[in-house]
Amino acid sequence: MIYDEEFETLPHEALEALQLKRLRQVVQRVYHNVGFYKKAFDKAGVSPDNLNTIEDLKRFPMTTKQDLRDNYPFGLFAAPMSNIVRLHASSGTTGASTVVGYTRQDIETWAELMGRCFVAAGLTKNDIIHNAYGYGLFTGGLGAHYGAEKIGASVVPISGGNTKRQVMILQDFGPTAICCTPSYALNLAEQGTAMGVDMRKLALRVGIFGAEPWTEKMRDEIEKALSIKAFNIYGLSEIMGPGVAMECDEVRDGMHIFEDHFLVETIDPKTGETLPAGSEGELVFTTLTKEAFPLIRYRTRDICRIDPTPCRCGRTHRRMGRVLGRSDDMLIIRGVNVFPSQIEAVLIGIEGLEPHYQLIVDREGSLDTLEVQVELSEKQFAGADEIKTLQKLENRLRKDMKDYLGITAKIKLVEPKTIQRSEGKISRVVDKRNL
Ligand code: DLL
């Protein structure tokens, strides 16, 4: 089933013509409404008037997460605050996190695109959707919510957490579809089973999972544990939230990027050069229809490959493969995005600790775990015979990590000079999850 037959199956030439038309509009819009872009385009010697083909976009500068931080919170908005009806922010970040705004029309577009995703997974107004993506500043909850209402389904806005209650609601309300992160789906299955519930006998038949990397092996596990068909959905707050790309029911091999709304390029993350179709590289998006927060050539840091071959389902939009990794050091722990530098900032604020640390990410059962190993200062170590003092320090660090970054971590204080020192490029992260 296809939600928007006309736009999702546009022949290539028509799609490109539409993209060019929209591209010109958005580039004009940012040039005239956002000081940052005017400056950046002028500096690069490009003008919205020189945009005659889509190829011409390559001469325009790229936008990075740092640019977003530098313009925190609203500096890149292209619409006046009076036209903005919603704000979201990327998860797990302190201070200069990424704030995104939406006009009423942006919310409508987003709901439409999420509607496309649900229909691509075979859902209709007869479905009940258990939406366990977090509601709040994170885009997952409300994004999926509006899409579910858009197709007329009944949505259960359960949000994240409170797993026992979720299991009860899954039994009592009989939802036919579930939305959450893949790791939470496994966690739910485990906890439900531990409660004595046969999780394969629920009414669930479809799951829509994203917001963090996962594998085909996890797909198999989830499908078996819940007896459902599992779909991959991709998105990021900066570009819109969930619903930038979605697998189709017919093939489930790659996610169709909604190319009438997002122009995608693949670049070499080291040189910034555009790569030929089908190569593995970093995805770069330009939003074509957003009003409040358009982005031109935004570097996602997500590494993946785009499959340009036609899909059996009839959609003409190209498909992106699974996200293979990131070109920066951002970690996604239980759906929360966090940079090691943010953890460092928390450590530095605590007396008695040194900024020598190592992060060990692992998976216990289906849940991501983070252990922070951090060195005590010499002075602290010398006077550390009091276990109570050390425990206090550990608790303080655990609490600060939770308060500032939104993540729960295991803390291990280690002796001075025991953490390996850099001999060039330091790797502070040991990721044992094998994703
Ligand atoms: O995670 C939006 C979302 C919500 C997508 C619900 C899907 C479902 P952010 O918090 O801004 O937004 O995180 C965006 O998450 O750049 C990827 O690195 C990663 N990511 C998102 N979807 C997938 C996926 C939401 N299907 C960052 N596979 C992105 C792998 C994903 N990684």
* Burial per residue of 70-95, b for 16 or more beta-carbon CB atoms within 10 angstroms, e otherwise: ebebeebbbbeeebbebbbbbbbbee
Model confidence at 93, pLDDT cuts 50, 70, 90, reads very low
Cβ proximity of 131 and 158 under 8 Å: yes
Burial category of 147 from C-beta neighbours within 10 Å (exposed 0-12, middle 13-18, buried 19 and up): buried
Distance from the CA of 19 to the center of ligand 1, in angstroms? Answer: 24
Give the H/E segment covering residue 398.
helix 387-400
CA atoms within 13 A on the CB side of 427: 5
At 17 the pLDDT is 98
- Largest Cα separation within the chain, whole Å, is 73
Q: Which residue's CA is the closest to the ligand 1 atom numbered 29?
A: 236
Give the H/E segment covering residue 112.
helix 104-120
Model confidence at 435, pLDDT cuts 50, 70, 90, reads low
178 ligand 1 Cβ < 6 A: no
Give per-residue pLDDT as tens, 295-347: 999 999 999 999 999 999 999 999 999 988 788 878 888 888 887 878 888 88
286 ligand 1 Cβ < 6 A: no
Entry pTM: 0.86
More confident residue, 174 or 342: 174
CA atoms within 13 A on the CB side of 256: 30
Overall residue count recorded for the chain in this entry: 435
At 212 the pLDDT is 85
- Kindly give the pairing relationship between strand 331-333 and strand 325-326: unpaired
Q: Which residue's CA is the closest to the ligand 1 atom numbered 14?
A: 236
Secondary structure of residue 360 in the 3-state scheme:
strand
At 324 the pLDDT is 83
Domains in the chain, CATH or no CATH each? 1-326 (3.40.50.12780), 331-431 (3.30.300.30)
Place of tokens 């409040």: 292
| Ligand 1 atom nearest to 213, measured from its CA | 30
Which of 230-239, 284-293, 381-390 is the least confident region? 381-390
At 393 the pLDDT is 92
Distance from the CA of 268 to the center of ligand 1, in angstroms? Answer: 21
Give per-residue pLDDT as tens, 29-81: 999 999 999 999 999 999 999 899 999 999 999 999 989 989 999 999 999 99
Distance from the CA of 328 to the center of ligand 1, in angstroms? Answer: 15
Give per-residue pLDDT as tens, 253-308: 999 999 999 999 999 998 999 999 899 999 999 999 999 999 999 999 999 999 99
Distance from the CA of 302 to the center of ligand 1, in angstroms? Answer: 9
Model confidence at 94, pLDDT cuts 50, 70, 90, reads very low
Average pLDDT in the 99-117 region? 98
At 417 the pLDDT is 84
Cβ proximity of 376 and 386 under 8 Å: no
